[in-house]
Amino acid sequence: MATGALRALIFDVDGTLADTESAHLAAFNQAFAELGLGWVWTHEMYLELLAISGGKERIWHYWQQFDPGITAQQASTWQPQIDRIHALKTLAYERAVSQGAVSLRPGVLSLLDEAWAAGLPLAIATTTTPTNIDALMRHAVGAGWRLRFAAIGDAATAPRKKPHPQVYLQVLAALKLPASACLALEDSSNGLQAALAAGIATVITPNRFTAQHDFHGALRVVPDLRHVSLDRLREWQNSARA
C-alpha cells in the first residue's frame, strides 16, 4: 500500500458508533433509584457531566458536588459504593441494549461493512467498559463482532481517560501503524483532543449531547456517516496533507 494511504479506522463507541447516552443516563438514574440515593440526573446535568470521561469518574465528580465536604483523599473510602452504583448501572444498560433501546447511528454499519469487505483494519478506542462495548456490538453486529476488529482499547486497558491519548496510543501500538496512516471517528471534544494528542486526524459526528462542543482541529465535522465512504475518507485525508 502506498506511503501515507489510509490503513485503519479507529472508532469511539458511545455517541459515535451509536447514540448511547440517553440509555446511559436512564441506567444511571435506575441504579440511583435501586440504591435509594435520591439522586436524579436530568438531561441538562448529564450534558455537563459528559465533560468528565468515564462512568465512575462522573459518579465521583457528582458526589463531590452533592456533598462538598468530601475530599479527594476520601475517594478510596467511597470507592466500594461507587463501584456498586456503576455495576448496577451497567446491568441496567445491558438490559436496555438487549431490548433494542440502542442502535448504530446512520451510516455506521455501511461504513463498517465497506471496510470489512475491503480488508481495511478497524479498531475501537473508547473510555467505556468492555461489558458495555460487548452489549452494544453483540446486539448490533452479532456474537462474533470481536473478530472484525484488529484492536480494542477500552476502560480496562486504558485507565487514563480521554482527553488523555492513552487509549489511542495503545491502539496504534496494537495495530503497529503510525498515526498518519489512521483516521479516528469521534463525537466529542474530549475524544477529539485525545485523538489529536496521539497525532490522529479525526472526523467528528456530533450528537445532541455533544453538538455544542468545540471541534477545532477536526479533519471534518459531519452530521453522521450516511454519506461517508472509504473513498470520501481518503479524499479528506489526502486534502489535509496537501
Model confidence over 183-206: pLDDT tens digits?
A: 999 999 999 999 999 999 999 999
Supply the DSSP string of the chain, one letter for each residue: --TT---EEEE--BTTTB--HHHHHHHHHHHHHHTT------HHHHHHHTTS-SHHHHHHHHHHHHSTT--GGGHHHHHHHHHHHHHHHHHHHHHHHHTT---BPTTHHHHHHHHHHHT--EEEE-SS-HHHHHHHHHHHT-TTGGGG-SEEE-TTT--S-TTSSHHHHHHHHHHT--GGGEEEEESSHHHHHHHHHTT-EEEE---TTTTTS--TT-SEE-S-STT--HHHHHHHHHHHH-
Whether pLDDT at 138 is above 60:
yes
pLDDT band for position 241 (cuts 50, 70, 90)? confident
If one counts the domains in the chain, the total is 2
Q: Is residue 3 domain-resident?
A: no
pLDDT of residue 242: 66
Q: Which of 14, 19, 154, 187 is catalytic?
A: 14
Q: Is residue 182 domain-resident?
A: yes
pLDDT of residue 1: 34
- 130 and 218 share a domain? yes
Whether pLDDT at 2 is above 60:
no
Q: Which of 12, 19, 154, 187 is catalytic?
A: 12
Q: For residue 79, what are the domain limits?
A: 21-98
Q: Is residue 115 domain-resident?
A: yes
pTM of the model: 0.89
Q: Is residue 204 domain-resident?
A: yes
- Whether residue 163 is preceded by a cis peptide bond, meaning omega within 30 degrees of 0, is yes
pLDDT of residue 65: 82
**Nine cell digits for residue 150:** 484488529
Whether pLDDT at 109 is above 80:
yes
pLDDT of residue 231: 97
What is each CA distance from 84 to 13, 78, 91, 168, 203, in whole angstroms?
Answer: 23, 10, 11, 28, 35
Whether pLDDT at 125 is above 60:
yes
- Catalytic residue list contains 12: yes
- 78 and 132 share a domain? no
- 62 and 43 share a domain? yes
pLDDT of residue 78: 81
Boundary of a domain, candidates 77, 98, 119: 98
pLDDT of residue 66: 73
Whether pLDDT at 154 is above 80:
yes
What is each CA distance from 154 to 135, 181, 187, 230, in whole angstroms?
Answer: 14, 21, 16, 25
pLDDT of residue 70: 64
